[in-house]
Amino acid sequence: MSEVSVTKDAVEKTGELVALTGVNKHFGALHVLQDVNLSIARGEVVVVIGPSGSGKSTLCRTINRLETIDAGTITIDGNPLPQEGRELARLRADVGMVFQSFNLFAHKTVLQNVMLGQLKVRKTDKKAAEEKARALLDRVGVGTQADKYPSQLSGGQQQRVAIARALAMDPKVMLFDEPTSALDPEMINEVLDVMQQLAREGMTMVVVTHEMGFARSAANRVVFMADGRILEEAPPEQFFSNPRSDRAKDFLSKILHH
């Protein structure tokens, strides 16, 4: 057994952290999330895959309430998602999100980007926020870039800053929506390595990605979505070697053989 999977299995799973129950969401006539039930344990890494338009991003966005839902419930640590105000800001900090585009503040330095949420939402004092930001930037391998502006960094570096910024809030769970798909090929691994490390350290993660190597080595579970529904859920070994639905077989044949 590889070192990675030994470590991964050793991560203690202590109960449910995120729960979606009977979640439904429409965009006008389009039923984008259809009776979605998903329970994510503390420390679990769930990789979400599926065809374009199947609702993967929408699913992620409902978990930190960037999208509202029409029916069903979503809880984090047993608490339903807050509707608005300060509670909602706190939820957003508890649920770190990393998007395909890096979404850093262009007019702030890398260091300031990673300090900002700590100062504004967590009310951390400036010195502590800076120390933490520098430590996190070191951890994701961009410590020497702290005083630059985002535009002076490569895509891979910017994405690692975005990860550091989310981590600065001590999130309970991290959502990644295709974090490497806007990157040049040679930068993909440097971002996946950081994510791989986070997974090993026991971070609870939901990751939408086409990187099947990452799914195989880091995921505890693969969730396959099509047409707004979760069609299959299985450990990666099982899902990749023996997908049950025709949709999943078809999808895998397309992404694995080109």
Ligand X SMILES: Nc1ncnc2c1ncn2[C@@H]1O[C@H](COP(=O)(O)OP(=O)(O)OP(=O)(O)O)[C@@H](O)[C@H]1O
Positions in the binding site for ligand X (CB under 6 A): 27, 30, 32, 50, 52-58
Q: Indicate the residue among 81 and 226 with the shorter CB distance to ligand X.
A: 226
Q: Indicate the residue among 33 and 142 with the shorter CB distance to ligand X.
A: 33
- The item of ligand X, Mg ion, none sharing an interface with residue 243, based on CB under 5 to 8 Å by kind, is none
- The item of Mg ion, ligand X, none sharing an interface with residue 55, based on CB under 5 to 8 Å by kind, is ligand X
Task: Tell me how far, at minimum, the Cβ of 56 lies from Mg ion, in Å.
Answer: 5
Task: Tell me how far, at minimum, the Cβ of 97 lies from ligand X, in Å.
Answer: 14
Q: Indicate the residue among 98 and 164 with the shorter CB distance to ligand X.
A: 98
Query: Which of 111, 167, 117, 116 is closest to 144 using CA atoms?
Result: 111
- The item of ligand X, Mg ion, none sharing an interface with residue 63, based on CB under 5 to 8 Å by kind, is none
Contact predicate 200/8, CB 8 Å: yes
Which helix (H) or strand (E) segment is 75 a member of? Answer: strand 71-76
Q: Indicate the residue among 27 and 105 with the shorter CB distance to Mg ion.
A: 27
Task: Tell me how far, at minimum, the Cβ of 208 lies from ligand X, in Å.
Answer: 7
Q: Indicate the residue among 57 and 159 with the shorter CB distance to Mg ion.
A: 57
- The item of ligand X, Mg ion, none sharing an interface with residue 53, based on CB under 5 to 8 Å by kind, is ligand X
Task: Tell me how far, at minimum, the Cβ of 177 lies from Mg ion, in Å.
Answer: 6
- The item of ligand X, Mg ion, none sharing an interface with residue 54, based on CB under 5 to 8 Å by kind, is ligand X
Task: Tell me how far, at minimum, the Cβ of 251 lies from ligand X, in Å.
Answer: 11
Query: Which of 98, 27, 103, 31 is closest to 63 using CA atoms?
Result: 98
Q: Indicate the residue among 193 and 227 with the shorter CB distance to ligand X.
A: 227
Contact predicate 8/221, CB 8 Å: no
| Residues of the shown chain interacting with Mg ion in the complex, contacts defined by CB under 5 A | 57
Contact predicate 86/53, CB 8 Å: no
Contact predicate 215/209, CB 8 Å: yes
Q: Give the pair of three-digit tokens for residue 237.
A: 């070994």
In sign, the C-alpha dihedral spanning 45, 180, 177, 252 is negative
Return all residues near 33 (Cβ < 8 A) that are at least 6 apart: 23, 24, 25, 55, 58, 59, 62, 69, 228
Number of C-beta neighbours around residue 50 at 10 A: 23
- The item of Mg ion, ligand X, none sharing an interface with residue 143, based on CB under 5 to 8 Å by kind, is none
Contact predicate 44/220, CB 8 Å: yes
Task: Tell me how far, at minimum, the Cβ of 232 lies from ligand X, in Å.
Answer: 15
Give SS3 for 146: coil
Using CA atoms, how far apart are residues 204 and 46, in angstroms rounded to an integer? 8
